[in-house]
Amino acid sequence: MNQFQVDKQNINTIRIAEADNERNTTACVTFDVERFAFTANNLTYFMVGEKLGYWQFFPPVDAPADTPWGVIPVWGIGKVTHSTLDDVKVGSRYFGYFPPATTLTMSNAKVSDKNLIDCSSHRLPLPQGYNLYRLLPASNGKPDSSQHYQDNLQMLLWPLFITSYCLWEAVSAIDVAQREQVVIVSASSKTSLGLAFALKEKGVSTTGVTSRKNMDMVKRVDVYDEVISYDDLASLPMVPSVVVDMSGSAKVKEALTEYIGQQNMRYIQVGLTHWHDVTDEEQTDNTFFFAPAHIQQRVAEIGAAEFSKQSSAFIFKAITWSNAWLKVEECSGLEALADDFAQHCGGNIPANIGRVYTLG
């Protein structure tokens, strides 16, 4: 197998590692990874990998314990090539959390409501939402072009729009008097766009903050009532505000505090699209919004079935809306990810582009 790895202490150092390709005869389920998406969200996994346990999902191959190599998880689709479970058929396809690698092996797994749950010992302590693999519709051979396109959108947008939905719930729960304005920072990120879409659907006005290079695109999507650049933060009124910050930039947070006022600002940090501006102290900031924790809380309140029903309805609607502005680009092989990685890290992938990497 081949696996894309990154130095956990230096994001600029990457490699494609190789390991024995012989099938593990003790495996419960083995996948060939067909393809996966890579977005700015995956860089957040890198930045908070130690704090939130993202490095633990997929141990790096050909890497002794004292080496710095780690595997950034991705959302993708895999085809079962080996299974000891009666309800998991060879050839069936699943959507879920994969390594950027040619194969994934589960040492232990179970089936629940047609979905597969990875019960490997190293994953049991981790958020269970990441351990669930959703069975995709059966197809004879490769999926048709329509299913293929929908699969790509699901990989790119489902992980982002579930966070958008959780944020919409969190913002909606704040008293209206405390949110005279809702400011969304890094407004071009797909999670931000999903949140703005959800709020607009409910009649909540928003201000999007983005770079000058992305302003035209963000305005065309037409989900924000106002779009401003980072240079125009001083134009924000000093009123009770909710700030949802996908950037994680210390400079931006400082400016927002100055212009809106600390006493007026309810601050929610979500992503780290400006990861190069983040300090070590901020990486451990306890205000970081963690969608799996929110989901766990909501499931306890309303039940898993009801949360799934409500969130899925939003996600499907938001994905359909995204067809109007999102362009999917498919790239072939882990080598393509290695070639593109600096672009991802530098924020140089256009906001209306979604990259999918095919391995099959």
- Rounded Cα distance between 77 and 79, Å, is 7
Q: For position 130, what pLDDT does the model report?
A: 92
Average pLDDT over residues 108-135: 92
* pLDDT tens profile 135-145: 998 766 677 88
Mean predicted lDDT score pLDDT of the chain: 91
- Rounded Cα distance between 192 and 198, Å, is 10
Going from N- to C-terminal start, the domains of the chain cover: 2-143+326-358, 163-293
CATH topology of domain 163-293: Rossmann fold (3.40.50)
- Rounded Cα distance between 125 and 53, Å, is 9
Give the CA count within 13 Å in the CB-facing half-sphere of 34: 20
Residue 165 CB partners (closer than 8 Å, separation 6+):
194, 198, 310, 311, 314, 315
Residue 276 has pLDDT above 50, yes or no: no
- Rounded Cα distance between 3 and 71, Å, is 8
Band of residue 284 on the pLDDT scale cut at 50, 70, 90: very low
- Rounded Cα distance between 79 and 95, Å, is 9
Q: Angle at Cα 76 formed by Cα 59 and Cα 151, nearest 5°?
A: 175
Residue 235 has pLDDT above 50, yes or no: yes
CATH topology of domain 2-143+326-358: Quinone Oxidoreductase; Chain A, domain 1 (3.90.180)
* pLDDT tens profile 135-180: 998 766 677 888 899 999 999 999 999 999 999 999 999 999 999 9
Alpha carbon distances (Å) from 329 to 34, 198, 253, 353, 354: 15, 25, 33, 7, 6
Alpha carbon distances (Å) from 309 to 160, 163, 305, 314: 17, 15, 6, 9
- Rounded Cα distance between 118 and 112, Å, is 11
Q: For position 23, what pLDDT does the model report?
A: 61
Q: For position 323, what pLDDT does the model report?
A: 93
Two tokens, residue 61:
């191959």
Q: Rounded to a whole number, what is the largest CA-CA distance in the chain?
A: 63
Better-scored residue on pLDDT, 9 or 288: 9
Band of residue 271 on the pLDDT scale cut at 50, 70, 90: low
Task: Write down the pTM of the prediction.
Answer: 0.89
* pLDDT tens profile 71-80: 999 999 999 9
Q: For position 243, what pLDDT does the model report?
A: 96
Q: For position 230, what pLDDT does the model report?
A: 97
**Quick count: other Cβ atoms within 10 Å of Cβ 45?**
19
Two tokens, residue 224:
């924000």
Better-scored residue on pLDDT, 282 or 228: 228
Better-scored residue on pLDDT, 281 or 354: 354
Residue 288 has pLDDT above 80, yes or no: no
